[in-house]
Structure formats: structure tokens, C-alpha cells
Amino acid sequence: MSDKRIVMQGIGLSKRFGHVVAMDHADFELASGEIMAVVGDNGAGKSTLIRVLSGASVPDEGKVFLDGEEVHFRSPLEARLVGIETVYQELAVATEMDVAQNLFLGRELRKPGWAGRWFRQLDKAEMRAQAAEHMQALGIRIQSIRQKVETLSGGQRQAVAVARASAWGRKVVILDEPTAALGVRETRQVLDLILRVRDHGLAVVLICHNMPDVFEIADRIHIHRLGRRATVVDPKVVKPNQVVAIMTGALDAASVPSALLAPVAA
Ligand SMILES: Nc1ncnc2c1ncn2[C@@H]1O[C@H](COP(=O)(O)OP(=O)(O)OP(=O)(O)O)[C@@H](O)[C@H]1O
Ligand SMILES: [Mg+2]
């Protein structure tokens, strides 16, 4: 991984909710052009970690770095402005709007000239054209860009959410369980889409519970346990049962053979 550089980093991140310690001095690291899978038991603190990395939540302790510079996001918008797009576990698509409207949600294009400037008229034709082009570039097959999202299948909805993130993400796309609750064919579609997003040069953080999916597409696997990073392993050498053993604590992270680890060559 010698040609890789660290795009995003978290050091010593902690987050408490009353007496619940959701995150306990967690570290995180994401290299350019990689898919970093984040795995861990329910409640291990994975969503809390990505909420902090994406500005949805402010950590009680710890630091976040983007391209080596410390950042202090107070909202997802602040993270989006510097190139980090996130699809949260509670999927955020506006079901009553069509595909093109969803892709441009919050970033609508105005008509050129006085119509857009004075009357704030939306340039729907241009948004539809760009949306269709983007969906095609990502290989997402949807009959019409004017189809309301509520009429799409679960997989297509996920695809729209991932497409929106990849359309606007300039550095990092974070996906919290994008294939949960999807069928085999729909999961396939979303996984292929994530691979294409990486091939477009973005770094991807993928929270996923499904080991075969993780092993198929991840470049590295961050294992989260009890609110912190237990270790980072290389899917090319580690076995799924070893990952599960580290996740559950059956195998102590400190005694994982170094040949299975996947540190970034800084
Ligand atoms: N807003 C909140 N208020 C109180 N407790 C919270 C809050 N958010 C998270 N927690 C707690 O923090 C812990 C970590 O939650 P988190 O959602 O990060 O886990 P997770 O690893 O994403 O789990 P899952 O795999 O089920 O999605 C849990 O015990 C959860 O109940
Ligand atoms: Mg979660």
C-alpha cells in the first residue's frame, strides 16, 4: 500500500450518552482509493464512529483529521462542504420526490439568467439530464429519472442514496449498512455500485454485517469492539471465522498474528 496516503483519520474518539459509553477512545484510518469495511457486533459503536467522522455527532474527546488537517465538524453539511458524503443507517431519501430531485436535494440548480436569480426558478431539465448521466455512469438501471422514489424497490432506493453520495463526495463516501434488508440481487447491485465508486477514485467507508460481502469488496477490514478499534486486518490473508472471533472477543486483538494485519504505510 506504499502509494496510498491517509485521507481521513480519527484519534482517541470518545462519545458518551449519559451513562452509555458509545465510543471509547476509538481510532480510525482511511487511505485514498480504498474500501475500508467496518465490522463489529450490534452496539459496538460503528454508527457512532461514522456519525462523528461525518459531522452528525460531535465527539466528547479525540481528534478528526482530513488530509492531515484537523477538522471540527459541527454538522453533516460542514463535512459535505469539504467532500465527505454519508448515507446513514436510517436511510435518507425523500420518497415522495423523484430520482433526479433526490440526487439534487439541497443542491438544486437554478435556471441561468434572471429566471433563476430573481425568481429562483429551478432548472429541472438540466438536473434531469445530469442525474440521468450520473446514474448511467454508475450503471444503475432505473426506468425513468422522473420516477418517484417511493415506487422503487429497496435496492433501487439504496442505489439512489449511494448515487447521491458518490455524485457529491469529492474525497470520502461513508455508507452505514447500505445492503441491510436487501435481497441477493439488490445487494449485488449496491456492491457493484460501491466498487464503481471506488474506481472513480473515492475512498469508501462501508459498515457491513455480511462477511461474504465484506470479504468480496473490502481492501481492509476495521474490526470494532466495545466502542473502539480492536484491529485492522487484511481480507486477502485473514479468514472470516478469525474476523468473527476478534469481533466477539473469542480471539484477543493483541494476539492476532501480524501477518493478518493491514496497517497503512504512512
Ligand atoms: N443517541 C444515543 N443515545 C443513547 N445511546 C446511544 C445513542 N446512540 C448510540 N447509543 C448507544 O451507543 C452504543 C453504540 O451504538 P451504535 O449505534 O454506534 O452501534 P452499532 O455498532 O452501529 O450497532 P448496530 O450494528 O446495531 O448498528 C449502543 O449501546 C447504543 O445503544
Ligand atoms: Mg449501526
- Name the β-bridge partners of 265: none
- In short, whether 198's Cβ falls inside 6 Å of ligand 1 is no
Residue 3, pLDDT above cutoff 90 = no
The ligand that comes nearest to the alpha carbon of residue 17 is: 1
- In short, whether 8's Cβ falls inside 6 Å of ligand 1 is no
Measured distance CA(266)–CA(30) in Å, rounded: 11
Average the pLDDT over each of 28-32, 119-123, 237-241 and give the range with the smallest value. 119-123
45-83: pLDDT as tens digits: 999 999 999 999 999 999 999 999 999 999 999 999 999
Q: Ligand 1, residues 24, 46, 54, 87: which to mutate, most atoms within 8 A of Cβ?
A: 46
Residue 1, pLDDT above cutoff 70 = no
- In short, whether 13's Cβ falls inside 6 Å of ligand 1 is no
Q: What is the pLDDT of residue 190?
A: 85
Average the pLDDT over each of 125-129, 136-140, 205-209 and give the range with the smallest value. 136-140
Q: What is the pLDDT of residue 233?
A: 97
Measured distance CA(39)–CA(243) in Å, rounded: 9
Q: What is the pLDDT of residue 59?
A: 97
Query: Quick check: pTM over 0.85?
Result: yes
Q: Rounded mean pLDDT of 97-126? A: 85
For the chain, domain boundaries: 6-95+149-260, 97-147
Measured distance CA(74)–CA(81) in Å, rounded: 12
The ligand that comes nearest to the alpha carbon of residue 89 is: 2
- In short, whether 46's Cβ falls inside 6 Å of ligand 1 is yes
Q: Ligand 1, residues 14, 15, 17, 39: which to mutate, most atoms within 8 A of Cβ?
A: 17
Q: Tell how far the Cα of 43 is from the centroid of ligand 1, in angstroms.
A: 5
The architecture of the domain spanning 6-95+149-260 is: 3-Layer(aba) Sandwich (3.40)
Query: What angle is formed at CA 94 by the lines to CA 210 and CA 45, rounded to 5 degrees?
Result: 35
